[in-house]
Structure 1
Amino acid sequence: MKALVLAGGAGTRLRPITHTSAKQLVPIANKPVLFYGLEAIADAGIKEVGIIVGETAAEIEQAVGDGADFGLDVTYLPQPQPLGLAHAVLIARDFLGDDDFLMYLGDNFILGGISALLDEFRTHRPDVQLMLTRVSDPSSYGVASLSEEGRVTGLEEKPARPRSDLAVVGVYLFSPVVHEAVRAIAPSDRGELEITDALQWLLDQGRDIRPTVITGYWKDTGNVADMLEANRCVLEVLEPGIEGFVSADSELVGRVRVCEGAEVHGSRIVGPALIGAGSAIVDSYVGPSTAIAENCRIEDSEIEFSIVLNDSAITGIRRIGASLIGCHVVVAPAPRVPAAHRFVLGDHSKVQISS
């Protein structure tokens, strides 16, 4: 089995962060979200991986390399324009050959990996295996309808009136029959080749699409709120430890990791929290569900439930919460504007001013 990882999207919902960085490389607990997917693929025993790349191809290739660090053999597959998930399958045809394959959206985060899903696929041998999960706003996702017996009866992409609350998670298992389906469909009203249309085509042909409804943790990390929630989830199982320096007048509470080269002076850190290598926390409070990346400085400030990317500085700020702060950012108080009263007073005036 091979894997096809999609890492070509523009990440418009994470702008302005993604104006300068690929959305798949925005970190969760100081590790790019894409890396979690690649590690899950390797843990599932898949070695050959094709990565669909677009305008951020250079960044993705620099971060992942040839895949050896993950135990993978990576091939890069350019997609000049993001024309849909089914289009990605089309352009990967030569790489995929006639093998079964896993398709994994590179900005999806699944706690617990995908090995159980692959085992189920290999056992039952359907034409397609889908992961579904219940969501509060299904109109933002591909949506599946199931019969009373639990069989897939229909699929829609971002429907205005969803027929169910079961969203299609961004992990798919396909037999080679899907290649016929992606060639058979036409672009949607969005101008894209939708994978849901290809799946519906397979249903109409009587093909076996097997659903697995998951109740574990899954996030499409396409927006800031989901990034912060995924970060919180990973930090909840953080292995605490002190590899850097923590002064005697500092206090660490709960799951806190201070990485090598990091320093904490006169500060209180309440976990789960992660302080990246080379960062300094001085006279500050770092609260739960916060990840500070490498070479940052937090001084005389308070921050919680946030992600701070590398080489950023926060000084003299009360308080920051639920924030995603990019690389090389400086957050500091505005300079004081000199206070002045300006008068044009006539004769015999009397002016009283509060000090």
Structure 2
Amino acid sequence: AFGVRLRFVEEPEPRGTAGALKYAEELLEDRFLMLNGDVLTDLDVSAQIAQHERTGAIGTLGLVPVTDPSAYGLVLTKKDGEVTGFLEKPGSDKLVGIDEYLISAGIYVLEKSVLDRIAPDENVSIETQVWPGLVGESLYGYTSRGTYWMDIGTPDRYLQGTGDILLGNVKTAVGERLDASHQFLAPGAVAEGASVSGAVIAEEGVQIAAGARVVGPTVLGKGVTVAAGAVVERSVILDGSSIGAGSTVADAILSPNVTVGPRTSVQGQSVLGEGVVIGADCKLDRGIKVFPGTELGDGAVRF
């Protein structure tokens, strides 16, 4: 659908960030990109590649500055970008003399020779075992200032990142679809008497019934239905899901084809897996996670 040929390999057991890369070695070209999958950013990767080629680096780490480095590992560089060392979640005593706190953005341009440093069939961390061994051997950092960057590996940050996309705080192709009110509402999505406010995407086939209310930032995937009297706020509801009459979904993530029964509440960064069915008069809150295919009857959960 996107004109992309996708090939993948599956580790026989967890092998760490570098061990997994080594396992995919036969699919990699002489120069390649390695990207963390839980990062949202508009960093200019083309500029990072250009610097990599200009310096003749064996690896170039995408870097972004932060104001509070306590939760991250810092990357130390010379003025020309060459990496000189790493500090893992440093205390204040280790920060003396450091003018700018740079952390890895999870975007790497690498030469295939890096794989020679990774033992096969072992669990190896590229961050703690490979990068330090490349210091002094043409390992560089590409620093992108004024760039949006967020680790979206938790439900709250995933929802925050979604909101930032809809509000235009990060540059994406999705943002180009939105009107001046930060909305994309497919024709026929909003019934007369329904209320939609804030930054909202309602894709093709969405049906928001009269008396329902949708408050952004919210994404409703293709074919989502929101019944009369239901309220959806600050949530992501993916394709084919349905929200029953009088129910509330707030600050939650619903995978495709989820069914939420009438008068049920799903809130507090709860996450429902694909095909989950929640009966009437249930309450899910405080980050509860429901695995794909689970079915819960009427009133079965009050959490």
Output the TM-score relative to the length of structure 1. Answer: 0.62
Deviation of 1:263 (Å): 1.2
Matched, 1:260 2:204: yes
- Contact 2:159-2:236 within 8 A present in 1 as well: no
* Unmatched tracts of structure 2, length 5 or more: 96-100, 169-174, 179-183, 283-297
Q: 2-side partners of 1:329 and 1:302: how far apart?
A: 15
State, as a whole percentage, how many aligned pairs show the same letter.
25
Q: Work out whether residues 263 and 278 of structure 1, in 8 Å CA contact, stay in contact via their aligned partners in 2.
A: yes
| CA displacement, residues 207-258 of structure 1 (integer Å, 9 cap, x when unaligned) | 2423324442223332222222222222324521223442211122233332
Whether 2:256 is the aligned partner of 1:310: answer yes
Matched residue SS, 1:121: helix
Letter paired with 2:14: P
Give distance in 1, aligned partners of 2:216 and 2:125.
44
Partner of 1:249: 193
CA distance in 2 between counterparts of 1:138 and 1:307 reads: 29
Q: Distance in 1 between matches of 2:9 and 2:187?
A: 40
1:148-204: CA deviation from partner (whole Å, max 9, x where unpaired): 665422125x55759565321221011234133335x9x7xxx63434422221114
How far does residue 76 in structure 1 lie from its aligned partner after superposition?
A: 2.4
Root-mean-square deviation (CA), in Å?
Answer: 3.4
Residue of structure 1 equivalent to 2:217: 272
CA separation in 1, counterparts of 2:15 and 2:89?
19
1:203 and 2:139 are equivalent in the alignment:
no
Q: Distance in 1 between matches of 2:167 and 2:280?
A: 29
The whole-number CA distance in structure 2 between the counterparts of 1:75 and 1:311 is 26
1:155/1:197 contact within 8 Å kept? no
SS at match of 1:278: coil
**TM-score computed with the length of structure 2 as normaliser:** 0.71
CA 1:84–1:180: 2 relative to 1, 3 Å: same
The change in CA–CA distance for 1:93 and 1:293 in structure 2 (over 3 A counts) is closer
More helix by share: 1
Q: Which residue of 1 is the match for residue 19 of structure 2?
A: 87
- Aligned-partner Cα distance in 1 for 2:189–2:25: 52
2:102 corresponds, among 166, 171, 177, to 166
Whichever residue aligns with residue 103 of structure 2, its letter is A
Q: Which has the higher Rg, Structure 1 or Structure 2?
A: 1
CA distance 1:148–1:115, change in 2 (3 Å): closer
Structure 1 residues 193 and 275: alpha-carbon distance in aligned structure 2, compared to 1, 3 A threshold: closer
Tell whether the 8 Å contact from 2:63 to 2:141 is kept in structure 1 after alignment: no
Gap change, CA 1:194 and 1:210, over 3 Å in 2: closer
- After the TM superposition, which residues 57-68 of structure 1 pair with which residues of structure 2 at under 5 Å, given as runs? none
Shift of 1:139: 6.1
Residues 244 and 159 of structure 1, relative CA distance in 2, 3 Å threshold: same
Question: What residue number does 2:98 align with?
Answer: none
**Equivalent position SS for 2:9:** strand
Deviation at 1:137, TM superposition (A): 6.9
Matched, 1:235 2:193: no
SS at 2:150 equivalent: strand
Find the counterpart in structure 2 of residue 330 from structure 1.
Answer: 278
**Native 8 Å contact 2:42 2:147 kept in 1:** yes
Please name the residue that 2:41 is paired with.
Answer: 110
2:62 counterpart of 1:131: yes
Deviation by residue 1:28-49 (Cα, 9 ceiling, x = unmatched): xxxxxxxxxxxxxxxxxxxxxx
Q: Is the 8 A contact 2:155 2:253 kept in 1?
A: no
Work out whether residues 110 and 219 of structure 1, in 8 Å CA contact, stay in contact via their aligned partners in 2. yes
- How big is each residue's C-alpha offset from its partner over 1:60-83, in whole Å with a ceiling of 9 and x where there is no partner? xxxxxxxxx443333323321222
Quick one: distance in 2 between partners of 1:253 and 1:109? 25
Q: Number of aligned pairs?
A: 261
Is the contact between residue 58 and residue 110 of structure 2 (CA under 8 Å) also seen in structure 1? yes
Deviation at 1:93, TM superposition (A): 3.0
* Structure 1, unpaired ranges of 5+: 1-68, 337-355
Choose 312-321 or 241-250, whichever is displaced more: 312-321
Tell me if structure 1 keeps the 8 A contact 2:77–2:141. Answer: no
**Which amino acid in the other structure matches residue 115 of structure 2?**
H
Counterpart pick for 2:86 among 149, 155, 158: 155
User: CA separation of 1:111/1:150 partners in 2, compared to 1, >3 Å: closer, same or farther?
Assistant: closer
SS, match of residue 8 in structure 2: strand
Contact 1:244 1:258 in 2 (8 A): no
